Structure 1
């Protein structure tokens, strides 16, 4: 599973931040990492012009690509970067669990006949 992290110009994209975000994602998705080809993380400060009001809004958008399926994307906006990353990771794990559960349910409840092999 490849993880790529991008930040806007209002967030310092230093190595410690990238290592921390990668670690959080790897831990959360370890059960399904073999089904995920890549994860893109976008971190941004939505209210960077309003520092004086103390109401900065940090945003984390995560897009995960499941092998053979459309990408799944979630967003979380919180007061701190840590909260927004944690929130987005939690949403992503729920979405992946739901998606994989639905796919498994569909595969187990197919009503079409199996393909016959002609000899």
Structure 2
């Protein structure tokens, strides 16, 4: 699984953030290592004066094998909270997306070989 971290100018300690984010993502998404090919993380500082949310925003996009990419974002007062919130959402979306595929494959077809009896 490839992990790429992008940080805007308002984010401090970019190198440390990249190392930490890589470890966190690898740990949380480790069971999906065969399905997730790439994760992109975008950390940014929100513009002052915007209403709601927080000061930091984290957006994550996961590229899944044989699926469309999925993305999440989370706003929070700190980088850590924004990152953890987006990662928790991403984990749920990946689980849901992959579970739907597994459930679909596990179901019996409605087009079974049903004996037809003439009426």
Matched, 1:32 2:22: no
Instruction: Report if aligned partners of 2:46, 2:56 keep a CA contact under 8 Å in 1.
Output: yes
Structure (1/2) with the larger helix percentage: 1
Q: Is the 8 A contact 1:61 1:75 kept in 2?
A: yes
Within the alignment, does 1:2 sit opposite 2:2 as a pair? yes
Distance 1:112 1:69 in 2: 24
What is the number of equivalent residue pairs in this alignment? 109
TM-score, normalised with respect to structure 2: 0.83
Kept in 2, the 8 Å contact 1:3–1:39? The answer is: yes
Aligned-pair CA distance for 1:56: 5.3
After superposition, the C-alpha distances for 1:56-80 in whole angstroms (9 at most, x for unaligned) are: 5100000000101100100000010
Q: Which runs of 5+ in 2 are unaligned?
A: 112-119
Match of 1:42 in 2: 42
Gaps of 5+ in 1: 114-119
Query: Pairwise CA RMSD of aligned residues?
Result: 2.0
TM-score by length of 1: 0.83
Q: CA deviation at 1:112?
A: 6.8
Structure (1 or 2) with the larger CA radius of gyration: 2
